[in-house]
């Protein structure tokens, strides 16, 4: 960008602390119109906190914000919207019990002359907003019945409908299919051409190099790099992000496959689905791959009793079980890490300590009293094991980065000592350094004899971490491929229906 050109947005010396822990330390950045600025950094670097300040979800401690050289105060989301700022959060910000149309118009519902909601206009306006992103979604559908990818597309449509001049996208493709991502990339290019300034937060280098004009990197709450993208390479960016060289991201130790821990038979999500059968053994990581909407999450939730299905038979450690609820599954030694941290994993206003300990409170009870000292010591040990700063134990988990929240949920199941872990998108929205840590935890757990079923949309991750890969298509497991024989091409060939299903035994 030209040094003589006035910035659309200026953030100067932004500082923010939580419970005495400094999260942002004099962070500054500029954003220009007709520009995509990539914002990168490890989880915990301060990216989401900075964007939450800009979008009015958090108040800054000190510093200043200016739009077109005019100082502005942003203390609420409405003030941000009034200034032409819209944000698409990494975690969905939706009302699942309302329809798509109602979510798109929330707070701005069209009214009849009698003051009632004009349902026809509501639907028509929703169709127009969805057409902008070419999303084929029924406006009358209850949002919670859509997959995460489609819910994310609704969020994008809602943000674009605000006609913001400053658009923040926080890991927007984390749950999108390749086709949906391509639609988003086209929209980003169009918006930039029309004069919008976009801040694009992503850990995916290929996306940043495809879309961005400039890049700013945060590390430990400080700005460590700002430059034209053409002036830096990917290795420099990674080095700035993590402060160290990241090697052997997916390498894992040799593992000994043990006894069968989970056996699933005759699983049908819907009555007319083909029955699904598979197993997971001790010391084994079984990856579950497939396109968004293929039915992977639905299978996991059916196994733990979170959702009903047409039929299912489950054996755990050789014993037939039927889980009527996730609590029942937990009590039988099954851990489940859902794909949506915000709505399904964390207790946002509770502390990190409470979030980690909540499923293991029985371990710390004596005569119906909670032994808090023993609990705190155990939680601190687990926090150290997953590399969460122990000074954050009393911090509300909602104030942690997405990566630290994910590690806290993993810590919950480490403390519980579950025998079977079902991990749904365990590194969704997590940076390269935190990914390495999570892969190390998965490897350690498998090596210790835990059985792990890992669902992921990140194909290199599935290939790199798993011992076997189950490919899911239209609620059916269409292939069971040993990791030594799996390639991106043959997995995608099964996932897209190019290759015919294997005969599974």
Q: Are 361 and 412 a contacting pair, CB within 8 Å? A: no
CB 105 within 8 Å of CB 129: no
What pLDDT sits at residue 31? 96
Confidence of residue 14 (pLDDT cuts 50, 70, 90): very high
Check residue 93 and give its pLDDT.
Answer: 75
- Compute the average pLDDT of residues 429-458: 86
Task: Say if residue 162's pLDDT is above 90.
Answer: no
Residue 255 has pLDDT above 90, yes or no: no
Q: Can 9-242 and 258-333+419-505 be said to share one CATH topology? A: yes
Classified as helix, coil or strand, 168 is: strand
Residue 382: name the closest of 390, 391, 374, 392 by CA: 390
What is the side-by-side strand order in the sheet with 334-337? 334-337, 420-424, 451-455, 285-289, 468-473, 476-482
Average model confidence (pLDDT) across the chain: 87
| Confidence (pLDDT) at 25 | 94
Report pLDDT for 53. 94
pLDDT of residue 340: 79
Residue 276 to residue 311: CA distance in whole angstroms:
10
Report the share of the chain in percent with pLDDT over 90. 46
Kindly list the domain boundaries of the chain, sorted by start residue: 9-242, 258-333+419-505, 344-417
Mean pLDDT of 150-167: 82
Percent of the chain with pLDDT over 70: 95
Q: What is the pLDDT of residue 401?
A: 77
Going by pLDDT thresholds of 50, 70 and 90, the confidence category of residue 99 is very high
pLDDT at residue 391 is higher than 80: yes
Output b/e per residue, 26-36; b: 16+ Cβ within 10 A.
Answer: ebebbbbbbbb
pLDDT tens for 327-340 read 999 999 999 999 87
Query: Across the chain, how many H-helices and E-strands are there?
Result: 17, 22
Q: Note the CATH number of domain 9-242.
A: 3.40.50.300
Task: Tell me how far apart the alpha carbons of residues 136 and 155 are, in angstroms, rounded to a whole number.
Answer: 14
- Asked whether residue 417 carries a pLDDT value surpassing 60, the answer given is yes
pLDDT above 50 for 323 = yes
Whether 118 shows a pLDDT value over 50: the answer reads yes
Give the pLDDT score at 164.
Answer: 80
In this structure, what token pair is assigned to residue 292? 């968004």
Whether the predicted pLDDT of 42 surpasses 80: no
Average pLDDT in the 422-435 region?
82
Residue 491 in this model has a pLDDT that exceeds 70: yes
Going by C-alpha positions, the residue among 46, 45, 51, 92 that lies closest to residue 345 is: 92
Residue-wise pLDDT tens digits, 340-377: 777 787 888 899 999 999 988 888 888 888 888 899 99
Q: What is the mean pLDDT of residues 481-492?
A: 88
Decide if 44 contacts 401 (C-beta within 8 A).
yes
Interval 302-313 mean pLDDT = 94
Which pLDDT score, from 0 to 100, does residue 2 have?
46
For residue 457, pLDDT beyond 70? yes
* pLDDT at residue 198 greater than cutoff 70: yes
Q: How confident is the model at residue 89 (pLDDT cuts 50, 70, 90)?
A: confident
CATH of domain 258-333+419-505: 3.40.50.300
pLDDT, position 454: 97
> Between 177 and 76, whose confidence is greater?
76
């Amino acid at each position: 960008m030209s040094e003589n050109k006035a910035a659309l947005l200026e953030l100067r010396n932004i500082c923010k602390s939580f419970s005495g822990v400094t999260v942002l330390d004099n962070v500054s950045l500029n954003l220009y119109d007709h520009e995509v600025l990539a914002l990168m950094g490890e989880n915990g670097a301060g990216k989401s906190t900075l964007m939450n300040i800009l979008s009015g979800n958090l108040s800054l401690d000190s510093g200043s914000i200016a739009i077109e050289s005019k100082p502005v105060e942003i203390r609420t989301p409405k003030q941000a919207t009034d200034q032409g700022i819209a944000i698409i959060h990494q975690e969905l910000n939706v009302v699942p019990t309302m329809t798509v149309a109602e979510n798109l118009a929330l707070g701005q519902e069209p009214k009849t002359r009698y003051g009632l909601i004009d349902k026809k206009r509501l639907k028509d306006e929703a169709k127009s907003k969805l057409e902008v992103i070419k999303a084929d979604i029924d406006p009358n559908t209850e949002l919670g019945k859509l997959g995460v990818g489609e819910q994310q597309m609704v969020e994008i449509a809602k943000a674009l409908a605000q006609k913001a001049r400053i658009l923040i996208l926080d890991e927007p493709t984390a749950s999108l299919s390749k086709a949906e991502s391509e639609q988003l990339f086209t929209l980003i290019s169009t918006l930039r051409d029309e004069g919008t300034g976009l801040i694009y937060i992503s850990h995916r280098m290929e996306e940043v190099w495809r879309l961005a004009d400039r890049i700013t990197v945060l590390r430990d709450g400080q700005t460590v790099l700002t430059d034209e993208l053409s002036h830096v390479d990917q290795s420099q960016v990674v080095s700035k992000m993590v402060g160290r060289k990241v090697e052997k991201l997916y390498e894992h130790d040799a593992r000994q496959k043990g006894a069968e821990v989970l056996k699933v038979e005759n699983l049908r999500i819907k009555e007319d689905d083909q029955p699904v059968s598979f197993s997971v053994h001790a010391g084994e990581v079984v990856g579950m791959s497939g396109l968004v909407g293929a039915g992977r999450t639905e299978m996991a939730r059916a196994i733990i009793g979170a959702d009903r299905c047409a039929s299912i038979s489950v054996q755990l450690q050789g014993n037939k079980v039927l889980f009527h609820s996730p609590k029942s599954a937990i009590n039988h030694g099954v851990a489940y890490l859902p794909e949506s941290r915000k709505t399904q994993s964390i207790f946002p206003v509770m502390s990190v300590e409470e979030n980690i300990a909540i499923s293991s409170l029985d371990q710390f009870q004596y005569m119906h009293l909670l032994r808090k000292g023993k609990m705190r010591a155990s939680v601190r040990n687990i926090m150290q094991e997953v590399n969460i700063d122990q000074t954050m134990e009393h911090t509300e988990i909602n104030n942690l980065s997405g990566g630290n929240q994910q590690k806290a949920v993993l810590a919950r199941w480490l403390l519980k000592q579950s025998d079977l872990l079902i991990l749904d998108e365990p590194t969704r929205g997590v940076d390269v350094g935190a990914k390495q840590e999570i892969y190390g935890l998965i490897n350690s757990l498998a090596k210790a004899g835990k059985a792990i079923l890992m669902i992921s949309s990140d194909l290199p991750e599935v290939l790199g971490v798993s011992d076997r890969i189950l490919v899911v298509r239209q609620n059916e497991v269409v292939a069971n491929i040993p990791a030594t024989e799996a390639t991106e091409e043959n997995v995608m060939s099964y996932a897209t229906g190019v290759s015919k299903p294997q005969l599974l035994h």
